[in-house]
Structure 1
Amino acid sequence: MDMRKGIVVHSLVLNMVGALLVLAGVGLAATTARGLLNYRMAASRHGGEVTSLGSDMLPQAGQYGYMVRLVGTPTVVEAPRDPEFNLRVNTPVLLRHVEMFQWREVRIGDAVHYEMDWVDRPLDASRFEEPAGHANPASFPISGKQFDAGLVQMGGFKLDPVLLHALPGSQQVAPDTKSLPENLAASFTLYRNHLVTSAHPDDPRLGDLRVSWDEVPLQQLTIVGRVSGDRILAAADAADGKGYDVELGDVPLLDMFPDLPVPPEFVMSRQILAVLLAALGAFLLLCAQHRQRDVLLALGLGGLAVGIVACVMWIGADWPATCGWLAVTLIGFSLTAWRLRRRR
């Protein structure tokens, strides 16, 4: 009686542990798939799942249309040039600022007063409350402009103008008076990194011009964008309306897009472990019910159970993954059918 009772208890324990292991295997496969699906769904809002290229930042076959993450310092191949002032700078973007010394109206509460200052746009004095004695020139003889580099690369990829305009940072450029055209050299003098038309720079007069330049510095950046041949550009179909990101320094992807969930790690290892756990559980169930230690049958049952669940979860979301799990399911089914036929 005691021996029979012990056998019953042993069988019950094997059944419980086996069932738990099968559930653990199926659950591990399901949570891994769910984690990947949630991550891809969130990533699709920014253009799609992002692949970090690391130091291998070269165009390769099969990359077209994929989102990638690049880390490095851009290289200016064709530097921008301001043709009017004959100024060329090794920068992705060169900005020319033009200001004129003008009257401007200042209101503090109900009080109105007028002062002269450098302003980067023409001020229409006719709109002043007291226009008499505060007339400004009608227009600027020279306007501010932006000059983009002809070619900027990150590794082997060319950066699209949208990404160039998103590069962070700005620093002033000291102009070279020796390179000025003769007509401008006669009109402008260098004063505190500005070119000014003032006869006395410390005491400017109405209508005097002040010209300066800013450049985007070359520094380490992290860029996320879509591959199109040998170019990196914005993903036009991204739901966030942007489809790219540019950050200063080496920034992790999850810091660039805080709304992304943390994707599961060691995906392949987790999937293999899921099948092995389910197979071990099936083996214990077979031992408890049939007193048979058929490893191949257990492996087939484990693959079948995990494969069916994973295959259903991936249907319509990722056809390569669906086909992979379908193959696991078919192999598990074939192995199970073969072992059962052998037993008969």
Structure 2
Amino acid sequence: MDLHKGLSLPALALNVSGAVLMLAGIGLMATTASRLQNYRVAANLHGGEVIDLGEDARPAAGQHGAMARVVAVPHVVEAPQDPDFNLRANTSVLVRHVEMFQWREIKVGDSVHYELDWVDHLLDAGHFVDRKGHANPVGFPVSGKQFDAGLVQVGGFKLGPILLHGMPGTSRLTPDITALPDNLAASFTRYQNYLVTSAKPGDPRLGDVRVSWDEVPLQQMTFVGRIDGDRLVAATDAADGKGYVVQLGNVPVLDIFPDLPVPPEFVWTWRLLSVVLASLGAFALIAAKRGRGDPQLAAGLGAAAVGAVASVLWLHADTTVMGGWLAFVLAGLALVTWRLYRLR
């Protein structure tokens, strides 16, 4: 018993419980910081932490520069138009495909044969093995092109060009023959979902041209991108080299990025609890030394202890968070100084 000579059993219990509570508070804060930092490191591979704004979200103050998840059916404000064919569509991207009926050379082993088929690029018959009777036209009368919508919105956000082009899915558009300019209306007729120059659309001849258009269907999609004012754009500094995601349907963040750990919940609750535990520990240690506790002095010591360790842990991870914890330390030390002054 000489080891504890002069130290009563209640004082010893207060010292032990105080130390345990202080360590528990610091440990809880360190665990919370570690989980949050691990999540941020994984999230930074894709551009940063993702704010889940949900369906049909609108821009709000304080969001600039953050990654966000928005779910919406895209709304085309300024529709794309093919000026040559006077064709407009309610879609994000309109693509014109042009094909010509040409000779194709097909080689199978030592055998060579030729057939007429629709091809979207010019085939040079000058390189054919048998050029006689298999000459192709020397050029296309019209070329394929892509036309982007002038403005597409998801919720209250305008889509940047990369996300605009990332929208999945295509469907064939049925052209309106009545909208054709007079010069093209004399050359083209509609056959199925094509405009063709064939006199007999079901029996095309060499040099006939057919034109078709693809559009992106407007349906519910999930967009992840960086907020730039009222725009949603790709994060060009993302470590994954992409910085955006567009998927069909309402897709949760963890399904979009399966490599992400589960984001820590109730971070501020755990932080507050860590300060409370450390403060209770300080209260017990003060009570063991002075015979009675001091709530204000204990709160200052608890805040200073937890804040000091947190500042060190966030020093190289996030200077903003580190600065916040450092301010918390100074507030705790100010409370301790004020209380000691009053006690004196």
| 2:332 equivalent in structure 1 | 332
In the TM superposition, 1:1-344 aligns within 5 A as 12-55=12-55, 57-288=57-288, 290-340=290-340
SS at match of 1:260: coil
Distance 2:281 2:141 in 1: 84
Stretches (4+) displaced over 6 A: none
Q: Secondary structure at the match of 2:31?
A: helix
1:188 aligned partner, one-letter code: F
Match of 1:331, SS state, is helix
The offset of 1:192, in angstroms, is 1.5
Percent of aligned pairs with the same amino acid: 63
SS in 1 for 2:277: helix
Per-residue CA deviations over 1:54-75 (Å, capped at 9, x if unaligned) read: 3573334443333222211111
Comparing 209-218 and 53-62, the one that deviates more: 53-62
- For residue 33 of structure 1, what is the amino acid of its counterpart? A
Secondary structure of the residue that 1:205 maps to in structure 2? coil
Q: Please report how far the alpha carbon of residue 79 of structure 1 lies from its aligned counterpart in structure 2 after TM superposition.
A: 0.8
Shift of 1:315: 2.3
Q: Partners of 2:109 and 2:254 in 1: how far apart?
A: 48
- Distance in 2 of aligned mates of 1:143 and 1:190: 18
Q: Distance in 2 between matches of 1:270 and 1:57?
A: 29
CA RMSD of aligned residues (A): 2.5
**Does structure 1 retain, via aligned residues, the 8 Å contact 2:59–2:157?**
yes
Report the TM-score, using the length of structure 1 for normalisation.
0.89
**In structure 1, C-alpha distance between the alignment counterparts of 2:105 and 2:21, rounded to whole Å:** 79
1:176 to partner: Cα distance: 1.0
Mean Cα deviation higher: 302-311 or 60-69: 60-69
For 2:266, give the aligned amino acid. F
- Give the SS at the match of 1:96: strand
Shift of 1:51: 2.0
> Counterpart of 2:98 in structure 1: which amino acid?
V
Q: CA 1:117/1:8 → structure 2, altered by over 3 Å: closer, same or farther?
A: farther
**How far apart, CA to CA, are the structure 1 residues paired with 2:42 and 2:105?**
50
Opposite residue 199 of structure 1, the aligned amino acid is: A
In the alignment, the residues of structure 2 paired with residue 50 and residue 237 of structure 1 have an alpha-carbon distance, to the nearest angstrom, of 15
d(CA) in 1 for partners of 2:270 and 2:107?
68
Q: Secondary structure at the match of 1:268?
A: helix
Give the stretch that moved more between structures: 89-98 or 250-259.
Answer: 250-259
**Equivalent-residue separation in structure 2 for 1:21 and 1:176 (angstroms):** 77
Structure 1 residue 10 displacement after superposition: 5.6
Secondary structure of 1:323's counterpart equals: helix
- Distance apart, 1:161 and its partner CA: 1.7
After superposition, the C-alpha distances for 1:127-170 in whole angstroms (9 at most, x for unaligned) are: 22333322211221111111111111122222122211111111
**Matches of 1:20 and 1:114 in 2, distance apart?**
87
| Alignment deviations for residues 80-114 of structure 1 (CA, whole Å, 9 cap, x no partner) | 11111111111111111111111112233443332
Q: 2:56 touches 2:72 (CA, 8 Å); kept in 1?
A: no
Structure 1 residues 56 and 332: CA distance shift in structure 2, 3 A: farther
Unaligned ranges ≥5, structure 1:
none
The range that moved more, 73-82 or 200-209, is 200-209
The count of aligned residue pairs is 341
SS at structure 1 position matched to 2:115: strand
Instruction: Please tell me the residue identity of whatever aligns with 1:144.
Output: G
Return 5+ residue gaps in structure 2 as ranges: none
Residues of 2 paired with 1:294 and 1:178: CA distance?
A: 88
Structure 2: distance between partners of 1:39 and 1:129: 62
What is the letter of the counterpart of residue 240 of structure 1?
D
Structure 1 residues 127-136 or 202-211, which shifts more? 127-136
Using the alignment, how far apart are the partners of 2:164 and 2:335 within structure 1? 57
C-alpha deviation, 1:23, in angstroms: 1.9
2:41 maps to amino acid: M
Q: Against the structure 1 CA distance between its residues 99 and 339, is the aligned structure 2 distance closer, same or farther, given a 3 Å change threshold? A: same
Query: TM-score normalized by structure 2?
Result: 0.89
Please report how far the alpha carbon of residue 216 of structure 1 lies from its aligned counterpart in structure 2 after TM superposition.
Answer: 0.4
Partner-residue secondary structure (3-state), 1:32:
helix
Query: Do 2:56 and 2:71's aligned partners in 1 also have CA atoms closer than 8 Å?
Result: no
